[in-house]
Amino acid sequence: MYARRAAQLLQELSSCEEGQLPPYNGDKFDQVIRECEEHSRQFQSLIRDKDIETKNEDHYGSFIHHLSIIRNKRCLMAYMYKRAEVIQSYRWNVGRVLPREIQDKLNFSEQEYFKDYCGVIDSYMKDLDLDLTVDMVPPKDPYIRVRVLSEIGEVSLGDHAVSLTKDSFHFLRRTDAEPFISQVLLHSIILMLNFECVIIF
Amino acid sequence: MPGYYDISDILMEDEAVSVVFHVGANGVGLLDPGTETNSVEKGAKIDLPFWLAHELCRRRAVSITIPSCFGQKMKKDVQADAACVDLGTRYPYFYEFGCKLFPLVGDKSIGPFLRHTFANRYKEMLSKSHTASLNAIPKFVLRLSKEEYQLFEAARSSMVEFKKWRVRDLGLMKTTIVGHKRKTDLH
């Protein structure tokens, strides 16, 4: 009673690491809701036929029940809100499809929320014609080294032309190379170390 | 300011305080384990969670007695050695709780006491947090309250970032050194 269980729910949530969720505790959630109903019944029985203005014992008793309901509501709302925030972050950090162990921790309405959120993000990205989930951290280098996978031929990039023959290496600006990388015609080489080894051999 | 959805604020308000009722209250017998009727008598001394005590105190239905964490014994402990006082296990929400309790209780010495405690603990915490290693959790971390722990984490993560920044150019230097060796097998 008096919001103990709701506080336990929140303890469970806060004891998890940042960005992780415990499994949805539906039992405790329902218990808290039943507690609220009990408080509401007691409140109704104390407030019946009484003059609101007189501040007698019944008034204070009903006030305590009212405060308990408000408190339980706040705890449950905070629980759902925090879980919703973490689910949103899953779309950006994990991707469109959630692995099995994460899906088991969500209840049915949370899984629906995730699907709807993905749908909203996708329609927004379609309108912008940009994939926002790539490059969550701004890349350090504006240039990248690429290797051509299939023959493209002469391409004019900005002020100079580059001949993209098969298996040739080039040092291009990231924005110039990106459309070719997305069509899987170029393969970017991130590790300069590997590149040096190949040349010497 | 903590918001409606702030979980640490909600958990902080769950701390128990001892109150004395100025009025009776019917239908809430569960608050007082010693009562036979389903009500609380005037003048009863009960432990309530802080969120309840706070609202009732505002409407002058109860008066809050100062909890032990701001009492004489605590003040003596802090005077002796502030850094050794174990806030992490006993009173994890020491500072926030004190800030919220201060306007409700008549004791004006809580504010300066909180500041004094924090100032004394801060010096040691500052030096230890910048030299703490990433993997091991030093024992003194368990003695920190929640707010102090956040400061500690911020200092530790900023030291990690600083170290990463210092070695960021060494990666390229390693590449040129390795490049001069002859590689006989290539996988």
- Convert the pLDDT of each residue in B50-107 to its tens digit: 888 888 888 888 888 888 888 888 888 888 887 778 888 888 888 888 888 888 887 7
> Is B11's CB within 8 Å of A11's CB?
yes
Is A67 in the B-facing interface, judged by CB distances under 8 Å? yes
CB pairs under 8 A between A and B: 90
pLDDT at residue B69, as a whole number: 81
Buried b (16+ CB within 10 A) or exposed e, B103-133: ebbeeeebeebbeebbebbeeebeebbeebe
> Is B5's CB within 8 Å of A77's CB?
yes
Mean of pLDDT values over A13-28:
86
CB of B19 closer than 8 Å to CB of B45: yes
Kindly write down the DSSP assignment for every residue of B17-71, as one continuous string.
EEEEESS-EES-GGG-TT-SSSEE-TT-EEEEEHHHHHHHHHTTSEEEPPPGGGS
Q: What is the ipTM of this complex?
A: 0.78
pLDDT at residue B178, as a whole number: 42
Is B164 in the A-facing interface, judged by CB distances under 8 Å? no
Is A47 in the B-facing interface, judged by CB distances under 8 Å? no
In terms of C-beta density within 10 A (0-12 exposed, 13-18 middle, 19 or more buried), how is residue A182 classed? exposed
Is B17 in the A-facing interface, judged by CB distances under 8 Å? no
Secondary structure of residue A113 in the 3-state scheme: helix
Give A17 to chain B, closest Cα distance, Å: 14
Name every residue whose Cβ is closer than 8 Å to that of residue A15 and which is 6 or more positions away in sequence.
A22
Return the residue in A60, A62, A88 with the most chain B beta carbons within 10 A, the one to mutate for interface testing: A60
Partners of A62 on chain B (C-beta within 8 Å) are: 27
CA–CA separation, B22 vs B41, rounded Å? 9
